[in-house]
Chain A
Amino acid sequence: MQGGSSGIGYGLKYQARCISDVKADTDHTSFITGTLSLREENEVHLIRLSSGGTELICEGLFSHPNEIWDLASCPFDQRIFSTVFSTGESYGAAIWQIPELYGQLNSPQLERIASLDAHVAKINCVLWWPSGRHDKLLSIDDENLFLWTLDCSKKAAQVQSKESSGMLHYLSGGAWDPHDMNAVATTCESSVQFWDLRTMKKTNAIERAHIRNANYDMKKSHILVTAEDESGIHIWDLRKPKSPVKELPGHTHWTWAVTCNPEYDGLILSAGTDSTVNLWQAPISAEDKATSESITEPLNQQADPLLNSYSDYEDSVYGLAWSSREPWIFASLSYDGRVRTFCNSGSQKKHRYIALNH
């Protein structure tokens, strides 16, 4: 497969922050991304990796009314996605549907299924349950957590429940546990909080400052990966929230995003404001619990967890997504609007991951 270390590129018109894997599209490896431009007309791009895997093809281009701060594809319907947008002064979130016949239309308009308009503060993200069909949606703003019931056919979303994060806890984002549809982790300035959606109560918390991003391991339950401004990447076993099971050095500047591979556990991608994407191999095995030991161990005894560092970016990388169809492919998005997908396959490597994990 072509691409190799420089990857396959695709340019957006404007700056952009978010990219999402279209999980529901089982026939193609596709990603969806949206631009972040304050003063221009923003666009949503549906990108597909060509069947040969040699180029990225724009499958659809739709205009979006405002700059997009967050974008997430619906895991069970490839035509549905959510965005969080801003006009500069106000924020909004909506669920969109790609029109069915967009191939034939000249300037297809996105169909707004529902507006998540109960927010008053700055909205940070909208979450779908990553593991399959679920009629609930989560949206997180600075102060509140909303659970929505979405009815696509009726094109309506209603707030089912809402909970305030509490005083002095400014939420910044969150992650929905793929193993438990009632468990959600939210990040705020000084901690990661865990919620039970049935009661909308906090169940647990990891006290740790400045977590930028959190991501659940898709394969192993109780494993959460977090990215922090200065201190890199931490892997947590949620049953033991006092200290991380593993630490990875992260990036030279902030580590902005982390994401776990949907197929191979221990394979982690991270993107940083130092304009690099790092691929880590950090298997959590039983004998590997004692992090501190492994760190103080002589270096030659431990394989370098950093498998690869993709540094060929021109600006900070904020967007990152694994393909769930072909889990050895990921897409990254740097602020200058360049989408790049990388294929780790080169079947050797794939086998290496498999061998490492099984």
Chain B
Amino acid sequence: MYQYVLKRLLLMIPTLLGAALLVFLLLRLVPGDVCVLRMTGGAGYVDPKAIALCRSELGLDRSYVVQFLTFIWDFVRFDFGKSMWTGRPITEEVGLRFELSLQIAIMATITAIMLAIPLGTISAVKQNTWIDYVVRGFSIAGIAMPSFWLGILIILGLLITTKSVFGSPWMPPIKYVPIWVDPLYNLSMTIFPALATGYRYSAVATRMTRSALLEVLREDYVRTARAKGLVQKLIIRRHALRNALLPVVTIIGIEFAFLMGGLVVTEQVFNLNGLGKLFVASVSNHDYTMTQALVMLVVTIFVVTNFVVDIIYAWLDPRIRYK
């Protein structure tokens, strides 16, 4: 097991290096640069010398090789440098957003698990009954409906409902306050995006739970359990569900990592100052250092999440031994 863990940890190095090279090259393939954007964004006149000075300050006049090696050397030392757009330390800029993205990801994951596992289980156990059809309809709708669109509907619904009930329209706050500062305010902002994304997330997991459980319920050991007179609840909980959860855990892990940096549109719909919004801003601003740091952060989250999922496999299924 320890050897396996060590091997997996070492495998992370080429993965991260490959991702670093890819993001570095892709960013430089896009025409335009941060200085031109920054100084002519208002469409006013700007002295070309000012643009040249800006490029030199940011090191954009150096060769690509030097720029790449600097990026890798800084990454190895966990020094992400400064944002080319704001000039502020990247750790400071990312730290502010990380907290919110993490909270939304956790809340959405909890929502998804709370919906997916019971619904997927009921749907499998009551296969081809009206309950199964309702659950399948619910989960297909969740897959078909983009979470940002659901978010827009939620906000509009809140505005219209509160206006007609209370006389004045209400919508979730658009400015983040940490949960330990004002829990009620924080939850009134974060609960709706968590529900919107959690629903879509749960839809995938529900379908996965259902199909995995159906497969397991046909296994010999389940039949044996039934034959020896075990009650259905016990068979499902102790024998079937635990085995059926393996693919569900994979889905949950991947989705969780995705939520940390991929909630681009949902964050914009709810004006959440999260990593996804920062990602979009840094790409459109040609902020190379920030985009590189964010990509590396998300890649690291994916790699670590995959690693954790593999470890959970072993806990869920003792037959897996990683030799």
Binding between chains A and B: no
